[in-house]
Amino acid sequence: MVKWISLAGKAVAAVGIFFGFYYLGADPQTSLAIVTATSVGVVGVLAFVCHVIFHKEDAARLGWETDRPDWMWEVGYANLAFGFMGLLAVFAGWGTYAQSLVLLGYSLYLLQAAALHTYRYVTDEKRSPARLWRGVIPTVVLVAMMAFFAAYALATAG
């Protein structure tokens, strides 16, 4: 189940980034809202589901099995907090600055996760290409895209 939820999150983020670029020139506010709602809102909530509800399966998928899933729950709750803030910033109409800050905050959070996955890849005795291609590269690409949209919105804000 976690595999499919994780893939759904990646798909939602990719579609959101695509439509973000599609609307960027014509309607930057819509572009920002789409990217914030999808790449932070939906992705954050789906990550919460993986890390908290399906924590055992998710830990096994990540290669971090444990009898004490407290840290998985903590990561899940952080994702949920960002996810809710992303959705609220868009649907409550909090504006460009709130959406940009949520994007930048989640970007920084995910960049740290990518750094941790990179460290695990580099220091692991058996370097799993799946860890690199599943955990590091897509996360870094998503971080770069979210940071771009946040910076663009802040630079063009009236």
Give the tokens for residue 28: 């930057």
Total tally of structural domains belonging to the chain: 1
Task: Classify the C-alpha dihedral 42-44-45-49 as positive or negative.
Answer: positive
Residue-wise pLDDT tens digits, 70-117:
787 898 999 999 999 999 999 999 999 999 999 999 999 999 989 988
Structure tokens at 26: 């014509």
Query: What pLDDT, on a 0 to 100 scale, did the predictor assign at position 56?
Result: 67
Task: Provide the 8-state DSSP code for 109.
Answer: H
- In whole angstroms, give the CA distance from residue 106 to residue 47: 12
Dihedral in degrees, nearest 10, Cα atoms 13, 15, 19, 22: 110
pLDDT digits (tens, 9 = 90+) for 15-65: 999 999 999 999 999 999 999 999 999 999 999 998 888 766 766 677 667
pTM more than 0.75: yes
Whether residue 76 contacts residue 48, with contact meaning beta carbons closer than 8 Å, is answered with yes
CA angle in degrees (0–180, nearest 5) for 139-141-142: 65
What was the pLDDT predicted at 158? 66
Dihedral sign, Cα of residue 109, residue 110, residue 112, residue 117: positive
pLDDT recorded at residue 110: 95
Domain span holding position 15: 2-156
